Amino acid sequence: MNPKLILLLLASLVIINSSEGGTGHRQQYADVCNKSRKCDFTKYFRCRQMKCVCYNPPGKEELYYDETARRCVGKHGTDCAQKFYPFDDEDPNMFHMRGATTNHWRYGNGTLRCGANAFCDFDGKDHFCKCRKDYYGAMDGTCMKLKGYGDSCKLDMECDPDSYLLCGDDGTCKCDNVTATRVYDSNLNKCTVQAGVKCETKRNKDDGHIVDDCPQDSFCEENVCRCGFGTQIHSDRTCQRGYGMECGPDHPCGDSKLSCKSKVCQCKYPFHMEYDESLGQCVSLASGICSLNETSEYTIYCTNNAECVQRNTFTECACKPGYLQTEIGTCAKVFGSACESDQECDQYPPLSCINNRCDCQDLLQSFDEKNRKCRGLLGTRCQLNEDYSCIENSKCVHYELDEQGKIGRCICKQGFKGSGNRTCEPVI
């Protein structure tokens, strides 16, 4: 046969096939359709008013056209186990739906695909189109990327719920502060409450794992954010490696007032600082450095009953009026101050809390304000070789009945004599 004739016949067949829709199922979305120009049913097209559109059963809008896939796909929540089949070989424009177990029709199985960013999920009973992780089901049935903190929004559903976000009045995703006070943590990419306060948990919609609104290195237990192993609540209510905890190059101490010494977090200035459990941080003792009129995580506070004062070229902690600096740098109440326990009173004299007043431990002692000592009255026992053991103008001498030579008695010095109140007065 003549080659030119063969080519002419093939070209004629292509033209005929194109004009009549080929297999009867080749017309694409929005193409003109009729009985001779048939829509591609395997892509879920149906001829309606002489135009190929997505097939949606009466009263339902389950499918939409996906430009990228060039076919009709299921909206989120749509049954994705369903298949399309022609109702009648002579009228391919009539369609009906059958279940996933039905035998495939001769032109293919026509299995419904889910839309972009969605997949066909099975919950143990039904198959349905579900948005992928980090996407949400929009009002039009498509799956859109969840928005993060600060992104523009119109509805709460657009903002990532696992990050505890809601759409704010300014049209951006903000922290959900309806049920708690939360702040955004860029490292965790979520809004968190503070350590040690009430927390909230929720189940992730994608994989079912539990998420919470606790800060880094903490977890929600019994509705309270608790610091994880190796950390403790810091002064700013976060969980960090704190005082007395193990530390190292890869695990530094979390507080600016701590130093890693011998692999343990300790106060940076050990001779001038102590750890205050109520504040959860190291504070300066009297004469230690401090921060004046400053409030930040670097602020160095003073110990109890002390305040930060300005010296010529530096600041330091000084005991408040009515308190005196002790040998260890704390501030104790002076003689005569109201008290509730011995620990409040100055231990140098030493003083005790007697009848709610800081006083000498023994009524046979007299307080010497000048030398800050409780001194024994005339005739009382005293400590040998100890300064200020006895009252003024007296001295401690060996008590003749003490064979070990450790106990003495207060007697008046030469030139002085005893008085009725057991003090020593000059001899006239």
| pLDDT tens-digit readout, 360-404 | 999 999 999 999 999 999 999 988 888 889 999 999 998 776 666
- Strand 357-360 vs strand 351-354: parallel, antiparallel, or unpaired? antiparallel
d(CA 234, CA 256): 11
The neighbour count for residue 161, using CB atoms within 10 Å, is 16
Confidence of residue 115 (pLDDT cuts 50, 70, 90): very high
pLDDT tens digits along 122-150: 888 889 999 998 999 999 999 999 999 99
Confidence of residue 17 (pLDDT cuts 50, 70, 90): very low
- Closest CA relative to residue 180, chosen from 221, 212, 148, 205: 212
Query: What per-residue confidence (pLDDT) applies to 92?
Result: 44
Confidence of residue 242 (pLDDT cuts 50, 70, 90): confident
Instruction: Report which listed range, 5-14, 205-214, 338-347, is most confident.
Output: 338-347
- Domains parsed from the chain with CATH numbers: 14-141 (no CATH), 146-240 (no CATH), 374-426 (4.10.40)
pLDDT tens digits along 308-323: 999 989 999 999 999 9
Average pLDDT of every residue of the chain: 84
Query: What per-residue confidence (pLDDT) applies to 100?
Result: 41
For residues 106 and 66, is the Cβ–Cβ distance under 8 A? no
Query: What per-residue confidence (pLDDT) applies to 400?
Result: 72
pTM of the model: 0.53
The structure tokens listed for 161 are 């719920």
Four-point Cα dihedral 51, 56, 60, 65, nearest 10? -80
Give the mean pLDDT of 294-299.
Answer: 75
- Closest CA relative to residue 282, chosen from 244, 325, 331: 244
For residues 325 and 286, is the Cβ–Cβ distance under 8 A? yes
Residue 110 has pLDDT above 70, yes or no: no
Percent pLDDT > 90 in the chain is 56
Confidence of residue 218 (pLDDT cuts 50, 70, 90): very high
Q: What residue has token string 């005082």?
A: 243
pLDDT tens digits along 94-106: 444 444 433 333 3
**Least confident window among 25-29, 193-197, 211-215, 311-315:** 25-29
Give the mean pLDDT of 213-223.
Answer: 92
Residue 16 has pLDDT above 50, yes or no: no
Long-range contacts from 28-37, C-beta under 8 angstroms, 24+ separation: 28/52, 28/70, 29/53, 29/54, 29/65, 29/70, 29/71, 29/72, 33/93, 35/91, 35/93
Provide the residue type at 250 as one letter. Answer: D
Query: What per-residue confidence (pLDDT) applies to 180?
Result: 82
Give the mean pLDDT of 196-215.
Answer: 87
Rounded alpha-carbon distances, angstroms, from residue 180 to 28, 79, 172, 219, 228: 53, 38, 19, 16, 21
Query: What per-residue confidence (pLDDT) applies to 99?
Result: 44
